[in-house]
Amino acid sequence: MAKGRGFFWLFVLATLVVTPFFLDFRDPLSFLRKGERLVNIDLAQLKKMQAANDIQLIDVREPAELEEAGQIPGATNIPLGDVEEAFLMDPKTFLETYNIKKPEKSDANLVFTCRSGVRSLRAVKILEELGYKPLNFKDGYLGWAKGEL
């Protein structure tokens, strides 16, 4: 029986030693992006883009969430469930629906945000499938609000 316990503790120790190399606990979905382009930006990078007026910011939260919590100034709301359909629209329909010019696939300043960075990362993945190269504000509205205090 002692031999079985030893194996168990060896397994636990090996897991604790190896796991940090494969998983970033601040970004639980990081293992999905190994070998892919970097898509996350932080608060400092977001503010730099805002200061340069070089950003197209899309908030993918539901409208009720925006009313309750607020949103980052300059963000346009396109709920996550509507993102794919929105970016498949022709430019005229997109403009009429969202009151902003439809981003080009080559735009390097297209940034998605949400509450904490998880849903916006899903939106980034959807847009990558459509040929865009969007960025994810990994801190989301919570990080932005905390940075504004």
Asked whether residue 14 falls in the same domain as residue 82, the answer is: no
Asked whether residue 137 falls in the same domain as residue 72, the answer is: yes
The pLDDT of residue 108 is 94
Nearest Cα neighbor of 118 from 57, 48, 32, 35 is: 32
Q: Which of 21-25, 97-101, 130-134 has the lowest mean pLDDT?
A: 21-25
Asked whether residue 55 falls in the same domain as residue 93, the answer is: yes
- Catalytic residue, from 58, 114, 121, 124: name it: 114
Q: What is the 3-state secondary structure (H, E, C) of 78-124?
A: CCHHHHHHHHHCCHHHHHHHHCCCCCCCCCCCEEEECCCCHHHHHHH
The pLDDT of residue 31 is 52
**Could you tell me the pLDDT band of residue 10, with boundaries at 50, 70 and 90?**
confident
Q: Which two tokens stand for residue 125?
A: 């993945």
Asked whether residue 45 falls in the same domain as residue 101, the answer is: yes
Q: Mean pLDDT across the chain, nearest whole number?
A: 86
Asked whether residue 52 falls in the same domain as residue 108, the answer is: yes
Asked whether residue 59 falls in the same domain as residue 21, the answer is: no
Domain hosting residue 11, numbered range:
1-35
CATH label of the domain that carries residue 118: 3.40.250.10
Q: Is it the case that residue 136 has pLDDT exceeding 90?
A: yes
Burial 92-131 (b: 16+ CB within 10 A, else e): eebeeebeeebbeeeeeebbbbbbebbbbbbbbbbbeeee
Asked whether residue 76 falls in the same domain as residue 134, the answer is: yes
Question: How does pLDDT run across 47-77, given as a tens digit for each residue?
Answer: 999 999 999 999 999 999 999 999 999 999 9
**Could you tell me the pLDDT band of residue 3, with boundaries at 50, 70 and 90?**
low
Whole-model pTM: value is 0.75
- Name the residue with tokens 């300059």: 74
Asked whether residue 64 falls in the same domain as residue 25, the answer is: no
Asked whether residue 60 falls in the same domain as residue 97, the answer is: yes
Asked whether residue 7 falls in the same domain as residue 53, the answer is: no
**Distance separating alpha carbons of residues 44 and 47, to the nearest angstrom:** 5
> Which helix (H) or strand (E) is 64 found in, with range?
helix 63-69
What are the backbone dihedrals phi and psi of residue 58, each rounded to the nearest 5 degrees, phi first? -115, 125
Asked whether residue 91 falls in the same domain as residue 121, the answer is: yes
Q: What's the number of domains the chain is made of?
A: 2
Q: Is 143 a catalytic site residue?
A: no
